[in-house]
Structure formats: structure tokens, C-alpha cells
Homo-oligomer: A and B are copies of this chain.
Amino acid sequence: MEKLFVIKIGGNVIDDEKALADFLTNFASIKDKKILVHGGGKIATQIGNQMGIAANYIDGRRITDAATIDLVTMVYGGLINKKIVAQLQALQCNAIGLCGADANIIAATKRSITTQNIDFGFVGDIDVKKINTKNFETLLTAGFMPVIAPLTHDGNGQILNTNADTIASAIAIALSTIFETRLIYCFEKTGVLQNIENPNSIIKILTQELYQDLKNQHILTHGILPKIDTAFSAIQNGVKEVLIGHSNDLIKNISENFTGTLIK
């Protein structure tokens, strides 16, 4: 099977112009087929503030009301996505910027109101079986590099907000039936750390057993757990390799001399 990299960059990289430019140069240099999934960054909140749209969080998760879904559709699907595409095109990388509605690549279901009566609003949950592998394959085979904004759609005309880590994992799983797929999470840390203050305390290989131990000992903190969960979901569902590392280390982390955390 042909190789495919699904690479995700987080908001911290997007918020830093120089870090983003360096990352995109490295991304563009990868010869294999590749998909970039990007997060949101602080810019949506900044623009929301300018527009008088208050950010509303429950349990650290932003509530996506009607004003907010328009805001993130603009910022994620327009501003961030198109700037990344233009920069990649300048690097001779034939990027094509898409959200989940485009070519119907990622259909999702609007999240129901929870049993605790929390309404997350226009948030989409993905079913891996509904990832449109055929259209992804068509685009990749034609030589395009999809750049995916963290937005999905419900198939009835509504755009939905969806976590970028989850999208990257779901795409990697779905495409692992067609390609030898590797999922690389790029963020602002060198990997999964034993001690969050020490960038050298990288856990080189994270197994499910070790993960349980570190959770039980409260060594791994809340923030990184959802990312690790989507990473394990990927490795348990056909993805060849999953790695969590720093955005600066992309080229190392797609080689055998990786410096981040390999999920086993």
C-alpha cells in the first residue's frame, strides 16, 4: 500500500506566524501523500471579541451557539485555511483547503443535549464509517494535498464545529483501508511528558498499560488525555503509526529517529 501521512497542527502553531511558516516549509517537503488538519487557535476568540461574540465554555469546551458557528466557519474555514493554502502553494505544494462539507468529505451528527442537560450547540460528532474515503482518495490520487479545517456538516445544510484531533484520527482510520497511514500530532510540546515542566522528559513509547499507570498516578494531566485517547483509537483501528511531538520536529518525527512519543 502507498504511504499517507495525516498531520495535525494545533492552534499554538497557527497563532505563531514564524512557527507556522517553518512548519509549512517542512510539511511541503514531505514527498509522500499527505493531509494536513489544522486547529483553530486564539484568533477566533480575538475576532469574536472584536465582534462582541462572547466565548462561552462548559467544562473547558466551547459552546457553539449560532453566532459562534458563523464565527468559526469564517475563521477556521476561511481565514486560517486559505492563508495556509496560499502559503503551501507558494512552496509548490498543491494544497486544496476544505471543510467537512466540501465534497461531503466529513459528515457528522449534531451532538444531543447531554443527560446533564448541557447543549453544546452546533458541535458535530463523527462516525468514522461516514468519512468519505472515495472522495479523499480521488483528491489524493489527483495530486492534491487536502488542508482540512475543523468543521463538519450534518448533511442537511448545517456546518458543525468538530475537534481537530478527532478529525485527524478519524481520517487516518478511514484511509488506513486504502493507504499505509501514519498520524502525526504536532503541538507546542516535545511529546507526552512525564513532567510537564521538563521538555526532556518525553515518554518515548506509550503503551496502553503505561498510559493507564500514568493516569492512575495522575502524572498525565487532563489537557492531553483526549489527544492520547484519539491517538490510541487510531492505532487500534488500522493506523500504522501514531506519533505525538513538537511542530518543529515534524521531519524527525516522520523518520525512524523520531523524538516525540510513539503510541503503541
Q: Give me the interface of A with B, judged by CB distance under 8 Å.
A: 47, 50-52, 70, 73-79, 81-83, 85-87, 89-90, 94-99, 101-104, 135, 138-139, 142, 144, 151, 153, 155-159
Contacts and interface: CB of A to CB of B under 8 A. Distances in A.
A89 B142 contact: no
Contact of A89 (B50, B83, B155): B155
A190 to B, nearest CB: 28
A150 B153 CA distance: 23
Nearest to A87: B157
Main secondary structure of the interface of A (DSSP, over half): helix
Given A50-B50, A81-B78, A103 B94 contact: yes
A73 B83 contact: yes
Contacts of A50: 50-52
A233 to B, nearest CB: 26
A186 B51 CA distance: 31
A226 B158 CA distance: 35
Contact of A151 (B74, B82, B155): B82
A162 to B, nearest CB: 13
